[in-house]
Amino acid sequence: MSTVLDELTWRGLVAQTTDEDALREALESGPLTVYCGFDPTAPSLHFGNLVQLILLRHLRRAGHRVIGLVGGSTGLIGDPRPSSERTLKSKEQTAADVERIAAQVRKVLSEEAGEPPTFVNNLDWTEPISALDFLRDYGKHFRVNQMIKKDAVAARLNSEQGISYTEFSYQILQALDYLHLYREHGCTLQTGGADQWGNLTAGVDLVHRMEGASVHALTTPLLTDASGQKFGKSLGNSVWLDPSMTSPYAFYQYFLNIEDASVVKLLKVFTDRTREEIEELERQVQDEPFRRAAQRTLASDITTFVHGAQATAAVQAASEALFGKGDLSGLDAATLRDATAELPGGSAEPGTSYVDALVSAGLAESRKAARRTLGEGGASLNNERIADPEGVLSEADFLHDSVAILKRGRKNLAALHRATGLEQSATAATQQQARQ
């Protein structure tokens, strides 16, 4: 790659720039200071935020100075959505979310050698500004006829709900961030997602009006699959970077199941693989799609990047074990729990017959069907074929005293969780009814 901008473009990380030629010259002339902001709209960053963190890493590798901003003030207001007004969180909740997100930003951006990144919270310089100073010193530089042209604002103005002045003023607050970072840190480049273009250019305009300086903005494309659906959603929920909100196993599986039509695009964005490596993986997608080599590489690289090599090894072992190629008993309790969380299943206790276990797990429609499966040798328990159709579950069959993995055939999996208390009574009653 001849320049960092060329590499970013090849990797699909450039949607718009304020002036591509001027930005290219600035990037090549010497180190720039660049920033991206992350608002605490949730207790964790999500898949979409990862694009910006990766973009900052590329720029830092190229020798540029990086600032990670967490929006302690902008998070109290909320960037207007095209659909509806946000529900304001309390100051205490926002502050707690700021701390969690700041830790995530710091972890990702501090991993590599080089000049240390700078981390800031915009509440530090926004909170001391009085309402009168905000209106006189900054508000006068914004024209309402330009502000209402922003996509999200225009959509809300045309809706029945309209838009509050609180959210309408958000772009002024974000523009103020750029002005402050320009003055204090010499920052001349802001990055963000394509949906942030209006907010980014508001900052560019404010710096120009108040300082007479030309600064830059760069946005990344919105990542969508072949059908136009936004990436990063799993069963209607975001794919979070916090392992307590999206487990490393679920995170890995999300990328392992990416469609062939999109995997090469995501490899370019989310991995450090070279052009030659990605071209070879692209060939394998075309010639040997059944091997899913590209998906495995993507899932491994991005899970390691977010959760570390040890977590990746654990979830890979769990994935292999669940499909009969590894030792389920060797999995730690947390990984086993995460790996079985999405499996269908039921509950049982030691002493439950294999027949009732298959029915309870949803792997047989009736006890008769379960007996037939067992008699044909078509069921396994914890990856061991069940040889005795009349057998029962033992204490040892519940891995980590918690769950037993049943399988019918090669692909039908279920997790049978150990019942406790009232669950045991309910399970016993259900099984007694099935026998009658």
Residue 257 in domain: yes
Q: Are 57 and 166 within one domain?
A: yes
Domain tally, the chain: 3
The pLDDT value recorded for residue 231 is 78
Provide the CB-side half-sphere exposure for 21 (13 A, CA). 0
Q: Are 316 and 367 within one domain?
A: no
The pLDDT value recorded for residue 1 is 40
Element (H, E) at 66: strand 65-70
Q: Are 156 and 17 within one domain?
A: yes
Query: Which range of residues forms the domain containing residue 351?
Result: 345-435
Q: Which domain CATH number covers 153?
A: 3.40.50.620
Q: At what angle do helices 248-256 and 293-307 cross, to 10 degrees?
A: 150
**pLDDT tens, position by position, 394-421:** 999 999 999 999 999 888 999 999 987 5
**pLDDT tens, position by position, 230-260:** 777 655 568 999 999 999 999 999 999 999 9
Q: Which domain CATH number covers 386?
A: 3.10.290.10
Residue 254 in domain: yes
Calpha distance 64→175 (Å, rounded): 22
Q: Are 161 and 260 within one domain?
A: no
Residue 228 in domain: no
Q: Are 50 and 162 within one domain?
A: yes
Q: Which residue in the block uniquely carries the two structure tokens 């909320």?
A: 78
Residue 104 in domain: yes
* pTM listed for this prediction: 0.87
Buried-exposed string 76-103: b where 16+ CB fall within 10 A, e elsewhere: bbbbbeeeeebeebeeeebbebbeebbe
Residue 90 contacts by C-beta under 8 Å, 6 or more apart in sequence? none
Buried-exposed string 18-29: b where 16+ CB fall within 10 A, e elsewhere: beeeebeebbee
The pLDDT value recorded for residue 11 is 97
From the list 404, 301, 293, the residue with the least C-alpha distance to 346 is: 404
Residue 390 in domain: yes
**Last residue in a domain, options 295, 326, 357:** 326
Residue 338 in domain: no
Provide the CB-side half-sphere exposure for 138 (13 A, CA). 23
Calpha distance 329→336 (Å, rounded): 9
What is the sign of the dihedral through the CA atoms of 149, 151, 155 and 157?
Answer: negative
Calpha distance 248→216 (Å, rounded): 36
The pLDDT value recorded for residue 367 is 94
From the list 166, 168, 170, 141, the residue with the least C-alpha distance to 157 is: 168
- Burial grade of 326 (CB within 10 A; 0-12, 13-18, 19 or more): middle
The pLDDT value recorded for residue 83 is 82
Q: Are 284 and 412 within one domain?
A: no
Q: Which domain CATH number covers 282?
A: 1.10.240.10
Helices H / strands E in the chain, number of each: 21, 13
At residue 377 the predicted structure's pLDDT band, cuts being 50, 70 and 90, is: very high
Contact 190, 200 (CB under 8 A): yes
Mean pLDDT, residues 299-314 = 95
Contact 406, 414 (CB under 8 A): yes
Percent of the chain with pLDDT over 90: 77
Q: Are 237 and 216 within one domain?
A: no
**pLDDT tens, position by position, 335-368:** 999 999 888 999 999 999 999 999 999 999 999 9
**pLDDT tens, position by position, 89-146:** 999 999 999 999 999 999 999 877 677 899 999 999 999 999 999 999 999 999 999 8
Residue 332 in domain: no
**Last residue in a domain, options 161, 194, 220:** 220
The pLDDT value recorded for residue 33 is 97
Residue 55 contacts by C-beta under 8 Å, 6 or more apart in sequence? 8, 13, 36, 191, 218, 220
Q: Are 204 and 305 within one domain?
A: no
The pLDDT value recorded for residue 80 is 87
Q: Are 180 and 124 within one domain?
A: yes
Residue 256 in domain: yes
Q: Are 92 and 189 within one domain?
A: yes
Q: Are 133 and 208 within one domain?
A: yes
Q: Are 175 and 71 within one domain?
A: yes
Mean pLDDT, residues 288-303 = 96
Q: Which residue in the block uniquely carries the two structure tokens 């799993």?
A: 234
